[in-house]
Structure 1
């Protein structure tokens, strides 16, 4: 009887199917261009503008898939911190280590920063190239005009999003002897950043606090998503051979013991 049941199960052909999903995308090239001048130490963001920008940039990077992302930092000069890469762990580690003492040159060289980012991206063959420029000041250093740099980037089909960080007017910076917040004046050249975004066929954003900055990066993340293509594979494994083997084994065992003393003993 057991042999018969094994054969019946084998004829039912039991199977196990595993579905595997592979995702891939052509990806986008994104260059983050971040201001690290002294004014980024102002505290209208918590704990300051730079740390808030770094944290938001890391969250943005970790939310991407298949894109190459690079990093340029600048103050009175520009420095390419990381080339376009898909090694997000390396990139986020580099961003977390960004500090004000990484550059000696003072000021805000927006034109030089855009030029440095363009130089990193100009030979890229991706269908979409995006630059995200984040600054809280006006161009007062470097030897490249920001508008000319934006036109050069546009010639290489690089789309530019600009983010103005901070507020105009009096903003907190440190505390006095009695622990009260000290206020200093902050000035931001919004006009130039708007013009850069217009030339670069992107958008201008104004971030006045941590939440606004986070929302801006979320919006850019949505606007610059590459289509993710899924490929599904099914792996099927048959198990009927196991049941057929044991069914045949029990059947032959039954035949072997059918006319033996052991079988007659059981019948008696």
Structure 2
């Protein structure tokens, strides 16, 4: 398979027709300038040592060198037949609750900070699995589609918080539906969801969606964070505890029963998040029992690159352009040029 690693750089080839147009305009300007200077025969003699053909050849050499350098920057590649192109793994979607209730401090430093620590450890230990990320509160947002680029996942995780989702609330059902859409529906297995939340959502729609996902081969694992007794929520906007419309202090509690029911219906496990390392180990063990599939991802493939051949050829063309003289060698230079129009005077 042939491809360009940086295919967007090929847009620079649009400079080629611009260069051709510039050359044509330059030649036209030269002709008009010569015509305005005076006697044509005298001008021809004075400029006889300059070759328009060599100037054209030098321009072509520079133009071809530019094209080769642009192609080299785009980096043409072919897939190596000898390199590993497939690895076995799973498609795993992590659904992280970033609602304001996750700012409660019954789990130190906050529920959200502990949850992000868990996600970070999962990312570090996912191995060859593909990972996708969804943040949700009052709405669900796909942060990263399924990929093996785990470094990018770490970058997305740094910005996870209530500000990432403008609408507040906890819509577990919508997040689960979005995760289902992110999977390849042709596969009836090889798929898993890890839902991390305090479970403050009593929408029965979430249970129905879990049943549909389980029927399509998706394992639903849930992680509960918080305390059943509940805690107040610190609101950074007011530097005070969050209050409802009637001025009462809001208490957020872990809805462990719902999260357990979702995991049981989704053929997965429920994990209470107290220690991130222990929770990550339980989830990895659960995922290890799922049958793996061949993941076709270009990050697993080895590619042969050819940019250096193009750079080498471009340098040769530029060297030839530099060494090619624009002037014509003359056997004997005339000391004085006499115009035929002035020879009879």
SS for the counterpart of 1:224 is: helix
Which residue matches 1:131? Answer: 193
Determine if the alignment matches structure 1 residue 215 to structure 2 residue 278: yes
Aligned match of 1:72 = 134
8 Å contact 2:269–2:286 — kept in the other structure? no
* Structure 1 residue 155 corresponds to structure 2 residue 239: no
Conserved 8 A contact 2:198-2:226: yes
Q: Distance in 2 between matches of 1:43 and 1:170?
A: 10
Which one has the bigger strand percentage?
Answer: 1
The CA distance in 2 between the partners of 1:124 and 1:97, in whole Å, is 33
Q: Distance in 2 between matches of 1:159 and 1:70?
A: 15
Q: Say whether the 8 Å CA contact 1:135–1:163 is kept in structure 2.
A: yes
Going from structure 1 to structure 2, the CA distance change for 1:111 and 1:173 (only over 3 Å counts) comes to closer
Q: Does the CA-based 8 Å contact 1:107-1:140 persist in structure 2?
A: no
For structure 1, the residue ranges without an aligned partner over 5 or more in a row are 1-21, 176-180, 228-268
Q: For the Cα contact (< 8 Å) 1:168–1:187, is it kept in 2?
A: yes
Distance in 1 separating the partners of 2:95 and 2:118 = 13
Q: How many residues align?
A: 199
| Counterparts in 2 of 1:170 and 1:196: CA distance versus 1, 3 Å | closer
Following superposition, the deviation at residue 123 of structure 1 comes to 2.8
- The structure having more radius of gyration, on CA atoms, is 2
- Cα distance change on mapping 1:174 and 1:77 into 2, 3 Å: closer
Give yes or no for contact 1:61–1:88 (8 Å, CA) kept in 2. yes
Does residue 197 in structure 1 map to residue 271 in structure 2? no
Does the 8 A contact of 2:190 with 2:218 survive in 1? yes
Cα drift, residue 41 of structure 1: 0.3
C-alpha distance in 1 between matches for 2:85 and 2:117: 27
Structure 1 residues 190, 65: CA separation in 2 closer, same or farther (over 3 Å shift)? same
How much has 1:164 moved relative to structure 2?
Answer: 1.1
CA shift in 2, pair 1:137/1:39, >3 Å: same
Q: Aligned in 2, Cα 1:76/1:32: closer, same or farther, shift over 3 Å?
A: same
Secondary structure at the counterpart of residue 76 of structure 1: coil
- CA distance 1:63–1:101, shift in 2 (3 Å): same
Cα deviation for residue 32 of structure 1 reads 0.3
Using structure 1 for the length normalisation, give the TM-score.
0.66
SS of 1:30's partner is strand
Contact 2:101 2:233 in 1 (8 A): no
**Contact kept? 1:31, 1:71, Cα under 8 Å:** yes
1:47 paired with 2:109, answer yes
Provide closer, same or farther for how the CA distance between residues 23 and 61 of structure 1 changes in structure 2, counting only shifts above 3 A. Answer: farther
How does 1:75-114 map onto structure 2 within 5 Å? 75-114=137-176
- SS of the equivalent of 1:64 reads coil
Q: Distance in 1 between matches of 2:194 and 2:270?
A: 10
CA distance in 2 between counterparts of 1:77 and 1:173 reads: 20
Tell me which residue corresponds to 2:99.
37
- Alpha-carbon spacing, 1:137–1:216, altered in 2? closer, same or farther (3 Å): same
Cα separation, 1, equivalents of 2:230 and 2:145: 37
